[in-house]
Structure 1
Amino acid sequence: MSPHSVLPHVAPEPRLSDFFQGLGLLGRAFSLILRDRRLFLLSALCAAVTAVALVGLVWLLWTYAPGALASVWARPESWYGRAAWSTVLILSSLVLWVVGANVVPPLLLAPLQDPLSEMTEEAWGGSPGAAFTLGGFLRGLVTGIAHTLARLFFLLAGLAILLPLHLIPGVGSVLWTVLGSLWTTMWMAGEFLAAPMTRHLYPFAEVRRMMRERRALCLGLGAGIYVLLWVPILNTFFLPVAIVAGTLLYGGLREARLLPPPPGASSTAALK
């Protein structure tokens, strides 16, 4: 496959239509997975593990969320109080399920994420993965841990800042759900764009710069992943699809010269 048949054509300047191009990355990812046998087999393995994780999250929230809410807000006796209490429970559980879906499966499938991203790059003719060296492994491990901790901090910090919205009678919980979902959507875009960038040892500042400068493009990617999480059956494939889509976005940004060459890359490799 040529880069032009796989990678998105990213415009040099931000456009409002970038949002729909970001959404379209999910379709490109699905198409590539179905055409590439290795990607399909690895994605099927990820889907099986993800299915177990998502069902487990539903069971945990169903079992423990009511008690957790009751520990900070006793269930009211009045019908309108119970209605408000149930609304907070449902809306909070929905957001927590999405957050859990973006934390638990990636942790369980961490060893498969880099191979998925590498196979995606090879599919458009990118450089194959570098030969294993202890120094390279340790640098990648340190960079990966730093990126993961930074991303998790931003996710949880954003949701914590929005938490007081629950105190606003009536609309507070709805606002928290809407704004929390928007924050999680943007976070997901950063999560899966950072995956290939981490592997190539880009500093986290470069991830933040891309998200700031191409906000609509990244928001479209995150929105597509967020919606995919709510589609039964297909949502078991959300992790490999998100990794492939994020890697395609990375490749499109490189092709458009919006990202500098990876740190330490040779001049020849930098042009690939």
Structure 2
Amino acid sequence: MTPPSPVPTFSARSGPSDFFQGLALLGKAWGLIFRSPRLLGLSALCAVVTLVALGGLFALLWVYTPQLLGWMWTLPTAWYGRILWYLVLALLFLVLLVVGANVTLPLVLAPLQDPLSEKTEELCGDFASPPFRLGPFLQGLVTSVAHTLARVFFLLLGLAVLFPLNLVPVAGNVLWTVLGSVWTMLWLAGEHLAAPMTRHGYPFAEVRRVLGQRWLLCLGFGVGVYILLWIPLLNTFFLPVAVVGGTLLYRGLRAVGNVAPPPSRALGK
């Protein structure tokens, strides 16, 4: 008996349910990983590397985040001021941990992202992973890292634009944390939607168009990935789940016509 296709079913038009459908992609990704031995093996390898990387990042931020906040806002002497200072410190630490994870992990795990995405598409049907050849593999790896660096630049650029809000103590710090988190969530969706689209030859302008057209769906997915980072143990599967979920998002959008067939297929490649 042929198992049902894991391609998610979306409506062709945006609606209020989009957010929850995007959020539900995390559950679909988890289920697909544990049903596929190949995906589970690749995800376990990613989890080991992720555990080491997140541990190092956590230790680094634990030491230096108080110094960064102290540079922007000196620790008050009044008790109520100290409470606010430590609250802002906790929020700043969380945002920097998320941003640091999203900068570090895609670069460290770049060689495993395309195999994860390709295997996910195989399970979705109408796709076969190309045979391994060293030349195309190295070319794809260089392209993947270059595009990841470009997308990380846009993440950091958005946070840099918001950073002057920190010059306003308390209110500005909190506002930067909230807006920075929302920006990171949207970026997360774009990052993991762009990965399979880049592999198929779509220009980044097409990724931006899809994000604008189905922003609520993408935001739901980004929120789910963001939350996953804060669940102990499960967060070591942060990148595999995001890659599989982003690939499912891409295939679901293709199925309802929000994304055209891959340029390579249109050109007969």
Q: How does the TM-score come out when normalised to structure 2?
A: 0.90
Aligned partners of 1:139, 1:203: CA distance in 2, in Å?
Answer: 17
- Asked if structure 1 preserves the Cα contact closer than 8 Å seen for 2:111 and 2:141, the reply is no
Aligned runs of 1:22-101 on 2, under 5 Å? 22-101=22-101
Deviations 1:246-268 (A, max 9, x none): 00011111111221222222577
In structure 2, do the counterparts of structure 1 residues 135 and 47 end up closer, same or farther at CA, with 3 Å as the change threshold?
closer
- Asked if structure 1 preserves the Cα contact closer than 8 Å seen for 2:196 and 2:247, the reply is yes
Aligned partners of 2:62, 2:121: CA distance in 1, in Å?
Answer: 40
User: What amino acid sits opposite 2:240 in the alignment?
Assistant: P
Q: 2:236 is matched with which residue? A: 236
Deviation at 1:137? 5.4
Deviation at 1:128? 1.4
Deviations 1:57-85 (A, max 9, x none): 11111122223333454434443443343
Deviation at 1:131? 4.1
5+ residue gaps, structure 1, are none
Aligned runs of 1:1-272 on 2, under 5 Å? 5-131=5-131, 140=140, 143-266=143-266
SS of corresponding position for 1:56: helix
- Root-mean-square deviation (CA, aligned residues, Å) is 2.3
Aligned partners of 1:18, 1:263: CA distance in 2, in Å?
Answer: 26
Deviation at 1:174? 1.5
Aligned partners of 1:72, 1:222: CA distance in 2, in Å?
Answer: 29
Aligned partners of 2:174, 2:71: CA distance in 1, in Å?
Answer: 21
Deviations 1:214-238 (A, max 9, x none): 0111001101101111111111111
* Deviates most, 97-106 or 139-148: 139-148
Aligned length: 269
SS of corresponding position for 2:263: coil
Deviation at 1:6? 0.5
Deviations 1:121-144 (A, max 9, x none): 111223212345688557645653
- Asked if structure 2 preserves the Cα contact closer than 8 Å seen for 1:2 and 1:125, the reply is no
Aligned partners of 1:9, 1:166: CA distance in 2, in Å?
Answer: 42
SS of corresponding position for 1:166: helix
Aligned partners of 2:50, 2:143: CA distance in 1, in Å?
Answer: 25
Aligned partners of 2:122, 2:254: CA distance in 1, in Å?
Answer: 15
In structure 2, do the counterparts of structure 1 residues 143 and 108 end up closer, same or farther at CA, with 3 Å as the change threshold?
closer
In structure 2, do the counterparts of structure 1 residues 16 and 4 end up closer, same or farther at CA, with 3 Å as the change threshold?
farther
Deviation at 1:201? 1.6
- Asked if structure 2 preserves the Cα contact closer than 8 Å seen for 1:140 and 1:201, the reply is no
Identity among equivalent positions (%) equals 61
* Deviates most, 234-243 or 249-258: 249-258
In structure 2, do the counterparts of structure 1 residues 146 and 104 end up closer, same or farther at CA, with 3 Å as the change threshold?
closer
* Deviates most, 211-220 or 74-83: 74-83
Aligned partners of 2:198, 2:240: CA distance in 1, in Å?
Answer: 17
SS of corresponding position for 2:12: coil
Q: How does the TM-score come out when normalised to structure 1?
A: 0.90
